[in-house]
Structure 1
Amino acid sequence: MRTFWQRGGKSFLFLLFLFILWEVLVRLTETPKWLLPAPSDVLKEATVGFDTFSGHIFPTISLALIGLVIGSSVGLIIAIILYRLPKVNELFYPLLILSQNIPTIVLAPLLIIWFGFGMLPKLIVISLVCFFPIVVASMDGFRQTAPELKHYMQMVGASRRQIFWKLEFPHSLPSIFSGLKIAATYSVMGAVISEWLGAKAGVGVYMTLAQSSFRIDRVFLAIFFIMLLSVILFGVIRLIEKLLVKGRNEGA
Structure 2
Amino acid sequence: MESTKLKVERINQAQTTITKRKIEVPQYVWSVLTLIGLGLLWQMLTVLLNIPSYILPSPLAIVTKFITEFSMIFSHSLTTLSEVLLGFGLSLLVGIPLAISIVYSRYLATSFYPILIAIQCIPMVSVAPILVIWFGYGLATKVLLASLISFFPIVINSVVGFRSLDSDMHDLGRSIGISEWKIFYYLRLPNALPHLFGGFKVGITLAVVGAIVGEFVASERGLGYLQLTANNRLDTVMVFATLLALALVGMLLFFAVHVVERLVMPWYNSTKAERG
Same fold, judged at TM 0.5 (above): yes
Deviation (angstroms), 1:129 = 0.6
Deviation (angstroms), 1:166 = 2.2
Question: Are 1:215 and 2:235 counterparts?
Answer: yes
Q: State the alpha-carbon separation in 2 of the partners of residues 6 and 248 from structure 1.
A: 19
Say whether the 8 Å CA contact 1:117–1:199 is kept in structure 2: yes
When the two structures are superposed, what TM-score results if normalisation uses the length of structure 2? 0.86
Question: Which residue pairs with 2:113 in the alignment?
Answer: 93
Question: Which residue pairs with 2:253 in the alignment?
Answer: 233
Question: Are 1:57 and 2:77 counterparts?
Answer: yes
For residues 229-252 of structure 1, the C-alpha deviation after alignment (integer angstroms, 9 at most, x for no partner) is 11111111111111111114769x
Q: Tell which deviates more after alignment, 109-118 or 24-33.
A: 109-118
Say whether the 8 Å CA contact 2:66–2:241 is kept in structure 1: yes
Say whether the 8 Å CA contact 1:72–1:183 is kept in structure 2: no
Q: State the alpha-carbon separation in 1 of the partners of residues 31 and 70 from structure 2.
A: 27
* C-alpha spacing 1:34/1:57, structure 2 compared with 1 (3 Å): same
One-letter code aligned to 2:54: W
Question: Are 1:148 and 2:173 counterparts?
Answer: no
For residues 157-194 of structure 1, the C-alpha deviation after alignment (integer angstroms, 9 at most, x for no partner) is 12223222221112101110000000010111111111
Secondary structure of 1:172 counterpart: helix
2:95 to 63, 75, 93: 75
The alignment of Structure 1 onto Structure 2 pairs a total of residues equal to 250
Q: Tell which deviates more after alignment, 23-32 or 162-171.
A: 162-171
Q: State the alpha-carbon separation in 2 of the partners of residues 149 and 55 from structure 1.
A: 51
One-letter code aligned to 1:18: L
Question: Are 1:11 and 2:26 counterparts?
Answer: no
For residues 131-177 of structure 1, the C-alpha deviation after alignment (integer angstroms, 9 at most, x for no partner) is 11111111111111123321221121122232222211121011100
| Runs of 5+ consecutive residues of structure 1 not aligned to the other structure | none
One-letter code aligned to 2:163: R
CA RMSD between the two structures: 1.8
* C-alpha spacing 1:35/1:77, structure 2 compared with 1 (3 Å): same
Say whether the 8 Å CA contact 1:34–1:214 is kept in structure 2: yes
For residues 25-62 of structure 1, the C-alpha deviation after alignment (integer angstroms, 9 at most, x for no partner) is 01101001000000001011112222332321110111
Say whether the 8 Å CA contact 2:262–2:269 is kept in structure 1: no
Question: Which residue pairs with 1:121 in the alignment?
Answer: 141
Say whether the 8 Å CA contact 1:57–1:202 is kept in structure 2: yes
One-letter code aligned to 1:181: K
Question: Which residue pairs with 1:35 in the alignment?
Answer: 55
- Indicate the percent of aligned positions where both proteins have the same amino acid: 31
* C-alpha spacing 1:145/1:3, structure 2 compared with 1 (3 Å): farther
Question: Which residue pairs with 1:109 in the alignment?
Answer: 129
Q: State the alpha-carbon separation in 2 of the partners of residues 163 and 118 from structure 1.
A: 43
One-letter code aligned to 2:123: P
Deviation (angstroms), 1:221 = 0.8
Q: Tell which deviates more after alignment, 67-76 or 26-35.
A: 67-76
Say whether the 8 Å CA contact 1:117–1:198 is kept in structure 2: yes
Secondary structure of 1:37 counterpart: coil
In our comparison, the structure showing a higher alpha carbon Rg is: 2
One-letter code aligned to 2:164: Q
Q: Tell which deviates more after alignment, 219-228 or 178-187.
A: 219-228
One-letter code aligned to 1:23: Q
Secondary structure of 2:225 counterpart: helix
One-letter code aligned to 1:132: F
Q: State the alpha-carbon separation in 1 of the partners of residues 23 and 62 from structure 2.
A: 31
Deviation (angstroms), 1:228 = 1.2
Question: Are 1:20 and 2:40 counterparts?
Answer: yes
Deviation (angstroms), 1:97 = 0.3
Deviation (angstroms), 1:199 = 1.3
* C-alpha spacing 1:37/1:56, structure 2 compared with 1 (3 Å): same
* C-alpha spacing 1:156/1:137, structure 2 compared with 1 (3 Å): same
